Amino acid sequence: MRIVIAGGHGQIALRLERLLAARGDEVAGIIRNPEHSDELRRLGAEPVVLDLESASVEEVAQRLEGADAAVFAAGAGPGSGVGRKETVDKAAAVLFADAAVRAGVRRFVIVSSMGADPAHEGDEIFDVYLRAKGEADAYVRGLDALDWTILRPGQLTNDAGTGLIRLEARTGRGPVPRDDVAAVLAELVDTPATAGLTLELISGPAPVSVAVKSVAGN
C-alpha cells in the first residue's frame, strides 16, 4: 500500500511511519519544516514538504495521487493558541479530507481526541480544541466519497507500548501509549471493514490485531 500521512513529523506519525515502512508499505509524510526530511527518510518514509495551513485543495490532492490510504495525524500541539486549533485541528483536517476525495483516495483515517464534540462548551484553549476536532470529525463523516474511520485516543503517554488495548465505540477515559496508537492506526489502515466507525482507544486487555478484528466484525 501507499499511505500518505498528514502531520508526518508528529509523535504518533513518526511511530506509524516506522511501523508501515517496516512491514513493506510505501509511506509518505507531509511535513511543514524541510529540516525534518532526513528524520523521515531514516524511518523509511518519503518526506513531502507542504504547509497544510496555506496549501490549496489542489496542491494537497496532487500529493495524494496514487495513494491507497490517507491518515490525518496533524495537530497544532499543546503549546499552540486558539487560532491554530482552528487552522490545524479543524481546517487542515477538512482540507486533507477534501483533497483525498479529489484524488480518489477512499480509505481515510483521522486521529481525533476523546471528548471531541462540535457542541462542546467552554472558552479555554482545550475547549476550543475539542470543538475543532469535533467539527473536523463531523465534516469527515459527511463525505460519502471516503471510507473513513475516526480514532479517538485517551490520554497520550510516552510509555513503551504494550500492544494491549481497549478499542470500542465508548471505552471511558484512560491512558494509552503513543506506540499503541500507532500500532492501531497501522491495523486500521489495512482494515477497511472499520469504515464508518468512530472508535475510542485506551490501554486494555486485548492484543491490537484482535481488538481491530473485533470492531471490524471479524
Q: Per-residue pLDDT tens for 198-218?
A: 999 999 999 999 999 999 996
pLDDT tens string 130-188: 999 999 999 999 999 999 999 999 999 999 999 999 999 999 999 999 999 999 999 99
Q: What is the CATH number of the domain that holds 76?
A: 3.40.50.720
Total domains in the fold of the chain: 1
pTM of the full predicted structure?
0.95
In this structure, are strands 164-168 and 197-203 parallel, antiparallel, or unpaired? Answer: antiparallel
Which residue range forms the structural domain that includes residue 207? 2-216
**Residue 97 contacts residue 139 (beta carbons within 8 Å):** yes
Q: What are the distances in angstroms from CA 5 to CA 15, 40, 53, 82, 159?
A: 11, 11, 15, 24, 23
pLDDT value at residue 57: 98
